[in-house]
Structure 1
Amino acid sequence: MTKPQSQTEKAPRRKPASFRVEDVEIVMPPEPEPLPDTSETDAEAAGLPTLERGLRWGSIFLSALGGLIGLLASLWLYDYVLALIAREDWIGWVAVVLLGLVLFALLMIILRELGGLMRLGRLGKIRHEADSAARQNDKPLAVDVTRRLKRFYRGREDIAWGMQRLAEHEHDIMDAEELLRLSERTLVAPLDPLARAIVASSAKRVSVVTAISPNAVVDMMFVAAQNMRMLRKLATLYGARPGFFSLMKLARMVVTHIVLTGGIALGDDVIQQLVGHGLTARLSRKLGEGVFNGALTTRIGIATIDVCRPLPYLEQQRPRFRELVAEVAGFN
C-alpha cells in the first residue's frame, strides 16, 4: 500500500520556462447568472402575507371627487348664465358681461403664470448651457446661447445699445468663451449695477424698519414682504417677469441655492463683522436685529442674482456679501 501524502508536504515546484505573450490563452470566466427573486417565495414559505398590488383607491377617490366638483361647477355656471340671459333686461346683460370679464381675466392670469414659469425655466437653461459651453469651449453651443439670449432680450430699450454692439462683433469672434464674454459685457453687465442697487436698497429698508419697529410680528411680515418684492424686481430686471407661482418657485430655488452654497453660516459672518468693528457694546438690541435682517436680505439678494442671471460670471465679478453688508450697515 502506498503511504498517503502528508498535508505538510509541499507540491513540487514547476521549473522556469520561457514563453511568448502571444501564446498565452486568456480564458474569461463565465458571467454569473442573475439570482432569482426569492422575496415572495421566501415570504410564502415562511407563512407571511405578501403585498398585492391592487387599485389605488385613494387616487381614484381624489380624481373622482375633483371631476365631480368640476362637473357641478360647470353645471351651476351654465344654469346661472342661462338664467341671466332669460331675464332679457339690462341686469342680466350686465351680469353676463361681468362674468365674461372675470373669465377673460382668469384666462390672462393663467397665461401670465405659465409665461412666467416658462421664462424662468429658459433663464436657467441658458445659464446651464452657457456654463457648459465656456467649460468645454464649445463654439456651436456658445453661438446658440448667444442667439437665444438675444431673442430673450429682444425689444428692451435699456440694453438696445449692447444688442447692437453684440450684433456688430459676434461674427468676428472664433473662441466660444470670448463670445460669451462679449455677450456678458454687452447684455448682462449693464444690468448688474441695477441689481446690486436693488439688493442694497431693500436691505437698508429692512434694517431701518426692523430697528425702529416695536413688534416682532410686524418685523417678520415686513422682512418677508420686502424679500418677496426684491425677488420680483430682480427676476423682472433679468427678464423673468414672474407671476405668483413662478415667484414661489423662484423663492424655493433661492433657498436651495443658499443652502447648497453655505449660506447657513450667515449669523457667524455678521457677528464676526460687528465684533471686528468694535460696535457690539455700543449697538442696541434692536439696531443689532436690524443689521442682522439687512444682512439676511443681502444674502437672499445675492442668491437671487445667481439664480436669475442668464450667464455665469466670466468677466464681471460676483457681488461680495461682506461689501454689501458693510454698505448697508454704513461701515464704509
Structure 2
Amino acid sequence: MTQSPHRPFVEEIHADDIPEADPGAAPPISDLPGADLMLEQLARAAGARRSRLTRAAIWVFSTLFTFVLGVAAWDFTASLFTRNAVLGWIAFVLIALAVLIALIMAAREAMGFARIARLDHLRARAVSAHVNADLKAARSVTGSITDLYGARAEAAWGLKRFEEHQAEVLDADAVLALAETEILAPLDAAARAEIEAAARRVALVTALVPLALADVAAVLYSNLAMIRRIAMIYGGRSGTLGSWSLLRRVFSSLLAAGAVSLADDLMGSVAGGGVLSKLSRRFGEGVVNGALTARIGVAAMEQCRPLPFRGLPRPGVSGLVSRALAGLIPRGG
C-alpha cells in the first residue's frame, strides 16, 4: 500500500531503545580543542599586522619626509656658511647634535620593540608547549624566563624555589604552572599595585577636576603611564612609540574579549559607582573610570606577561577597584 504524501509519518520509539548518555564521558569545556587559545587568537587577530601596502606607504612617506627635511637642513646650513662662517658652524653643530639625539632615540625605541617582541615570543612558545603537551619545549620556555629575570631581586626567591622543584615535575603544564606561581607571582603583585594606583588616581582626578577635557587628558596620561610601568615590570621596557603600540594592542585585546566579558568585569564596580553617584555624580563617574582603568591594566598584564594566566588566576577588576578605592565605596553591613 502506497502511503499518501499528505499523511504524516509517525514512528514509535521506546525509551529502552535510546542509549543512556553518560555525562561523565563529556569532555570539559576547557579541554575542548582550541578552547584555551580562543581569546589568544581573537586578540592576535584584532592586533594583526598592517597590510603590505600600508607598511609600504608608511615607509615611503616617512622616508620622503626625512629626505626633504635633510635637504632643507643642508640648504639652510650651506646658506649660512656663505653669509657667515661662524653662524654656519653653529648651525652645523646643532643639526649634528639633533641627528645624534634622533639616532639615540630611534635605537631606544628599537630596543623597546625588541623587548616587547621577546615577551610575545615567550608567550607564543608557552602556548604552543601547553597545546602540544611538550615537556622539552616547556622547559625551554622556563629556561628563557629564568634567564630573563635572573638579575631581578624581587624574583630571586621564586627563582631559587623553581630551580629546587623543577626536576620533580614531569608534565609540561605543571612546569609552566610552577614557573608562573614561583617566578611571576611577585611581578604580578607589583603590576597589581600599579593598576590600583592608576585606578585611584583616575578616580580622584575625575571626581575632583571639573574640566572635562582636563580629566580626559589626565586619564589618558595615567593609562599610558600605567601600561608603560607594567611593561617595565615584566621586562618589556619600551619607549614612547612602544608605549603607544602597547596601548593599541591592549585596546585590541579588549575588543577581542567582547562587550560581555567587559560588562562582567565591570559589573561590581559600576554598582559601587551607582551607590556613590547618589552622593556625588562626579564620584560615581570616578569609580566607573577607575574600573575602566583597572580593566585596561589587566589587559596590559595579559599583553606583557611572558606566560598566559593559567597557574594563577587573572586579577579581577572589582577586587582591584575595591582595594584601590578602599573607604570610598560603601560596603554593605
TM-score by length of 2: 0.70
Contact 1:133 1:141 in 2 (8 A): yes
After TM superposition, the structure 1 = structure 2 runs for residues 212-223 of structure 1, keeping only pairs within 5 Å, are 212-223=208-219
Q: For structure 1, which segment, 114-123 or 66-75, has the greater mean C-alpha deviation from structure 2 after superposition? A: 66-75
Q: CA deviation at 1:277?
A: 9.4
1:328 aligns with 2:324: yes
Q: CA deviation at 1:279?
A: 2.4
- Percent identical across equivalent pairs? 35
Contact 1:263 1:299 in 2 (8 A): no
Counterpart position of 1:307: 303
Counterpart position of 1:31: none
After TM superposition, the structure 1 = structure 2 runs for residues 9-20 of structure 1, keeping only pairs within 5 Å, are none
Counterpart CA distance in 2 for 1:62 and 1:233 is: 29
Supply the RMSD in Å over aligned alpha carbons: 3.5
1:280 to 1:185, Cα distance in 2 relative to 1, 3 A: closer
Counterpart position of 2:155: 159
After TM superposition, the structure 1 = structure 2 runs for residues 40-189 of structure 1, keeping only pairs within 5 Å, are 70-78=66-74, 95-189=91-185
After TM superposition, the structure 1 = structure 2 runs for residues 197-276 of structure 1, keeping only pairs within 5 Å, are 197-263=193-259, 266=262, 270=266, 275=271
Write the letter of the residue equivalent to 1:223. V
Write the letter of the residue equivalent to 1:282. K
1:246 to 1:72, Cα distance in 2 relative to 1, 3 A: closer
1:208 to 1:76, Cα distance in 2 relative to 1, 3 A: closer
1:265 to 1:83, Cα distance in 2 relative to 1, 3 A: same
Counterpart CA distance in 2 for 1:324 and 1:65 is: 44
Counterpart CA distance in 1 for 2:306 and 2:86 is: 53
Unaligned 5+ segments in structure 1 are 1-58
Once the two structures are superposed, what CA deviation does each residue of 1:261-313 show, in whole Å capped at 9, x if it has no partner? 23467568656655589826733211111111111111111111111111122
Contact 2:81 2:87 in 1 (8 A): no
Counterpart position of 2:294: 298
1:78 to 1:167, Cα distance in 2 relative to 1, 3 A: farther
Once the two structures are superposed, what CA deviation does each residue of 1:111-150 show, in whole Å capped at 9, x if it has no partner? 1111111221221221122122123320121122122223
Q: Give the secondary-structure state (helix, strand or coil) at the position aligned to 2:275.
A: coil
TM-score by length of 1: 0.70
Counterpart position of 2:49: none
Q: Which one of the candidate residues 267, 273, 289 is aligned to 2:285?
A: 289
Contact 2:273 2:284 in 1 (8 A): no
Q: For structure 1, which segment, 146-155 or 263-272, has the greater mean C-alpha deviation from structure 2 after superposition? A: 263-272
Contact 2:272 2:287 in 1 (8 A): no
Once the two structures are superposed, what CA deviation does each residue of 1:221-278 show, in whole Å capped at 9, x if it has no partner? 1111111111111111111111122212211111121122234675686566555898
Which structure: greater helix fraction?
Answer: 2
1:107 to 1:155, Cα distance in 2 relative to 1, 3 A: farther
Once the two structures are superposed, what CA deviation does each residue of 1:49-84 show, in whole Å capped at 9, x if it has no partner? xxxxxxxxxx99999887766555444444556677
Write the letter of the residue equivalent to 1:291. V
Counterpart CA distance in 1 for 2:175 and 2:58 is: 52
Q: Give the secondary-structure state (helix, strand or coil) at the position aligned to 1:242.
A: coil
Counterpart CA distance in 2 for 1:60 and 1:125 is: 25
Once the two structures are superposed, what CA deviation does each residue of 1:192-227 show, in whole Å capped at 9, x if it has no partner? 111111111110111111111111111111111111
Contact 1:142 1:179 in 2 (8 A): yes
Counterpart position of 1:35: none
Q: CA deviation at 1:105?
A: 1.4
Q: Give the secondary-structure state (helix, strand or coil) at the position aligned to 2:187.
A: helix
Contact 1:202 1:230 in 2 (8 A): yes
Aligned residues: 274
Counterpart CA distance in 2 for 1:62 and 1:172 is: 51
Write the letter of the residue equivalent to 2:298. I
